[in-house]
Each structure stands twice: as structure tokens, then as C-alpha cells.
Amino acid sequence: MHSCLIHYHEVNDMKIKKELEAMLTKEVSQVLEKCKGIKKEEELLEIRLNIGQPLIVKCKGGEYILKRNGEVTKDFKEGLYVTANMVRDTFSGACKYSAYAFEEEVRQGFLTIEGGHRIGIVGQAIMEEGRVKNLKYISGLNIRVANENIGCGEVLMKEIYNHRELASALIVSMPGGGKTTLLRDCIRVLSEGTGIRKGYRVGVVDERGELGAAYRGIIQNHLGPRTDLLDRISKKEGIFMLLRSMAPEIIAVDEIGSKEDEEALHRAMLCGCKLLATAHAASIQEARIRFESLGIFEYYILLDAKHVGRIQEIYQSTGIHQKKEALLCGS
Amino acid sequence: MWQLKLIGAAMILIGSTILGLEKSKKEENKIRTLQDINYMLVLLKGEMVYERAALPDIYMHLSQKLSKPYNRFFEGLCEEMEHRRGRTMEQIWRERVENSTKDWVMEEKDRQEFLQLGNFWGYIDISLQESALELYKEKLEYRIKEMQSTIKDRQRIYSMLGVLSGLFLGILLF
């Protein structure tokens, strides 16, 4: 078993490789390239860098500790020791040495880089008047690799939209369950249309820049020809702007949860738009407790947190409950 | 025979005068280079502070706005940053300054100062980043003033040295 985690021969991986290489330190890049003991099919999902801890990568098959020579080990002590310099340089690389340009994102504890990869940041918070002003002594980074999985949304779209009216749906799972990847492809499917369905005008509010991964104003991911994307704007403002200006038939947003989000979604629903959203929840029941009272969503889709890329359950607000084990494309 | 000597002496005189004038012109160009760098900083600061643009984007914009040889410098810098290959910003800046500013008319100590600018990038706080740039800008403006205050004297010396050395060599030839 030998493979490098970022394969050279595939176009998508090539893109990921370039984006990560521009950010990671030479040492970490080399370890990922030399990586032995992880199957080639295993998609890279996360890279964890915590000062004083070993380098950990998360793939579809699980979590691996990597040694300096790229071998996988189970012993924490044998892993490549992450230094303060590694974390600092990776952070600087992720910001392209322009940390000032990402001040607002750093304050929220994450930043999204070219390609839609999201980097979680931990460190010591600098507080001012009871709110986080900035982070200092950055001690750890969690790089979540955005893997565009074209085609994975078709299974779900067929399942809930085939021969039926357009409906609002909420995709839920635990963190890392593949919600954003699935939502991204659902947007593409709805925007492109299928043989039996026309394409819809989809408005996307990409608060964290993960859906479209727009770079210098150009959408990097495939979101379809009828998609209008508002990048790095709050859901509330973005939804209102789309409603006012772009006449969307469907509005898609990632990771809803706040009261403001709910109000904006409700407003969109009253305007006749259908909604496609994701949220963190461990079960359909939990999602229903939180969102059913809003009366927005007709479908609740639970993804399997243990097996990324599997639909575990679909619930229809009319009361129909389906236990699904549908496998999404390419998973 | 004396006619040939006269022609030779005249040519030496013209040559050394031209050299003197060239040297004097170079002094002017040194100030112009520093003024160009100062102008770059104004543009850079504007994009950084008011647009909050990231450095590669700023470099790209500068490469489009500035003329030769500065546009090439920033174009290259932008490309290098896109393919960082594990290097730090300081290293990228250093490499670029060392390789691409050889044809810029400036004194070595000014080049070293420009090289130090590479250490000023990457502050997380915008006001700190702005202050760091401002500090370099102040130093630069002071240096420009210093050079401007002495340029007339230096230019006069170079021009006179050119003419006098030409005359001296001409007389020696006779």
C-alpha cells in the first residue's frame, strides 16, 4: 500500500495540491507527498496541526498519524512533531501573508482560502468589550479540504424531487459529514436541470466562501449556469439582497442556526422561494426540534457521520419517514 | 602630428565630460527610483488599508498600474507567492529583490532598506501593518530629502570632475 495523499494525475487533486502547497510548509507538504499506508482511494478530508502534537490527517477511512518519512503510525510519539513555526508559517501562508485582510474571519475562528478549503484556528483570544477582537498565540489549525464531488447530489435530488413539486430541504449531519459537499452539488443539479426537470434560478449566499470558493470574484466550483452567488456576506443580508435583485426560485445557504438566519429564511419562504440549507444536528429528531416550528422545510435529510457520503435517513414533513442507506456518488 | 594630438585631446575631453554628466544624471535617477518606490507604497497602502486586499492581489494590481521595471517586479512577486513551495514571505521578497532590482538605479544601502521591507508583511492587525509601512515610508522620505539637499553639489562636482579630468589628460597628451 503506497500512495501520496494528493495524487498528481487527477485534475481535481492537482488543483487541491496546488492550493495546499501554496499554504503548507515544505516539511508538511513532503510528508503528505511521501505518505505510505493510506489507500489511494481515501480522499483527504482534514489536516490537523497542533503545536506539540503529531501531524494528524483525516481521510474517508479514518484518522492517521503521520511520521516524518510519511509512514502511518498508531503511536503519538512517533508522529511528526508539529512546531510553533510550522503552525505560524502555515497560518501566514493561508493568509498569503495578509493576515490583516482576514481579520474578521480570524475573529470568528476560521478562514476560507482559495479552493474553498476552510481552516479552523485556535489560540488565545484578545477580548475587547466582551467580544473577541482577535486571536494571538495561534496554537492549532484544522485544515478542512474542500472536495468537490460532482454527481453526489443527483441521488438526493432524484430521491426528493423526481416527478414532484419543488420543495424546501434541510441537510443535517454531525460536523464533517459531507453536508457542504452535498449541498454544493445539489445546487449544481438544480441549476443545470435534468432530462425531466428544467433548471432553476438558484441564489446562493456563501457566507464562508465554501460553496462557490470564489477567488478574485470568479466561482471556482461547479454551481451550474443559473446560479447567482453572493460571496462572504451574512445570510440575513445576502438573502434579502438576492430576493430584491435576482428573483431566485431557490435559495441555498450553508450551516444555518442563528435566530437571524431563521428570520431571513422565513422571509424568503414568504416570498415564494424554496430553500436548500444545511445545519449541524445528530439526528432528524434534533433537527425537527430546532427547525420544524419555522414551517419552512418539507424534507429533512440526515447524513451518516460515520460513513461520509451516505444518506442515513429522509424525513418528509407530511410524516413519511424513510430509513435510507443510499450511497452518494463517488463515496 | 600636433593635429592628431589635438583631436585625441578633444576626444578625451568630450568623453570625460560625457562621463561626468552621466554620473550626474545617475544621481538624479537615484532620487527618481526612491520617489517611484514611495509612489508604490502609496498605492500599496491604499489597497491594503482601504480595500483590505491580500498581498498577491495588491502585487497583481501594482504590476498592472506601474511601468517598467517595477511592473515586472510585482508580477514576478505575485507569481512566486502563488507557488510558495514552503518559502516564507521574507524569503520570497528577498529572492525577488536580489534578482530583479539589479537594473534599478539606487545605492546599495537603499536596496538593503528595500529588502528589509519584506520583514514588514503579515501583521494580523491592520493598524500595525499600516504603522510598519508608514515607518518605512518616513525613512524613505527622509532619505529622498537628504539626497535632494545635496544633489546640486554632487552634480556640480561630477560635471566639473569630468571636464577637469578631460583637460588634465589632454594636457598630459601634449
CB contact under 8 A, A97 and B124: no
In this prediction, residue A330 carries a pLDDT of 47
Asked whether A115 and A146 are in contact (CB, 8 A), the reply is yes
Ranked by mean pLDDT, the top range of A19-23, A58-62, B45-49, B155-159 is: B45-49
Cell of B93: 521578497
Q: What is the domain partition of chain A in residue ranges?
A: 11-144, 152-323
Look at residue A116 and tell me whether its pLDDT is greater than 60.
Answer: yes
Kindly indicate the confidence band of residue A324, based on its pLDDT and cuts at 50, 70 and 90: low
Does the distance separating the beta carbons of B124 and A100 come in below 8 Å?
Answer: yes
Residue A103 is inside which H or E element, if any?
A: helix A103-108
Range from A177-186, A313-322, B112-121, B146-155 carrying the lowest mean pLDDT: A313-322
Cα–Cα separations (whole angstroms), residue B138 to A66, A132, A236, B34 = 48, 33, 44, 12
Distance between CA A80 and CA A34 in Å, rounded? Answer: 13
What are phi and psi for residue A56, nearest 5 degrees?
A: -120, 135
Query: How far does the CA of residue B120 sit from the closest CA of chain A (Å)?
Result: 10
Nearest CA in chain B to A105: B124
Q: Name the most confidently modeled range: A10-14, A155-159, B65-69.
A: B65-69
From residue A292, how far is each of A125, A168, A316, B12 by CA, in Å? 35, 12, 11, 96
As a whole number of angstroms, the distance between CA A142 and CA A134 comes to: 18
* Alpha-carbon distances of B117 from A96, B36, B111, B132, rounded to whole Å: 16, 15, 10, 9
How many Cβ pairs closer than 8 A exist between chain A and B?
A: 68
Whether the CB of B160 is below 8 Å from some CB of chain A: the reply is no
| ipTM here | 0.72
Interface of B with A in 38-57 (CB under 8 A): 48, 52-57
Find the CB nearest A96 among B52, B54, B123.
Answer: B54
Closest CA to A275 of A166, A176, A197: A166
* Position A6 pLDDT exceeds 50: no
Q: Which fold has domain A152-323?
A: Rossmann fold (3.40.50)
Instruction: Kindly report the backbone phi and psi dihedral angles of residue B129, in degrees, each rounded to the nearest multiple of 5, phi listed first.
Output: -60, -40
Burial class (CB in 10 A: 0-12, 13-18, 19+), A253: buried
What is the least distance, in Å, from the CA of B136 to any CA of chain A?
A: 18
Contacts of B82 in chain A (CB under 8 A): 22
> A98 to chain B: which residues are within 8 Å by CB?
48, 53-56, 121-122
Instruction: List, as one string, the DSSP characters of chain B.
Output: -HHHHHHHHHHHHHHHHHHHHHHHHHHHHHHHHHHHHHHHHHHHHHHHHTS---HHHHHHHHHHHS-TTHHHHHHHHHHHHHT-TT--HHHHHHHHHHHH-TTS---HHHHHHHHHGGGG---SSHHHHHHHHHHHHHHHHHHHHHHHHHHHHHHHHHHHHHHHHHHHHHHHH-
Query: What is the pLDDT of chain A when averaged over all its residues?
Result: 84
CA distance A329 to chain B (A): 32
CA dihedral A289, A293, A294, A296 (to 10 degrees): 80
Above pLDDT 90, what percent of chain B? 31
Cell triple for A248? 431566485
DSSP A291: H
Question: Best interface-test mutation with B: which of A14, A96, A102 has the largest number of B CBs within 10 A?
Answer: A96
User: What's CA A190's distance to the chain center, in Å?
Assistant: 19
Tell me the pLDDT of chain B averaged across its residues: 87
Q: Can you tell me the mean pLDDT for A158-167?
A: 74
Spatial contact of B96 and B63, defined as CB atoms under 8 Å apart: no
pLDDT beyond 60 at A163: no
Q: State whether CATH 3.30.450 applies to domain A11-144.
A: yes
Q: Do the first three CATH levels of A11-144 and A152-323 match, i.e. the same topology? A: no
pLDDT band at A187 (very low <50, low <70, confident <90, very high): very high
Distance CA A277, CA A294 (A): 13
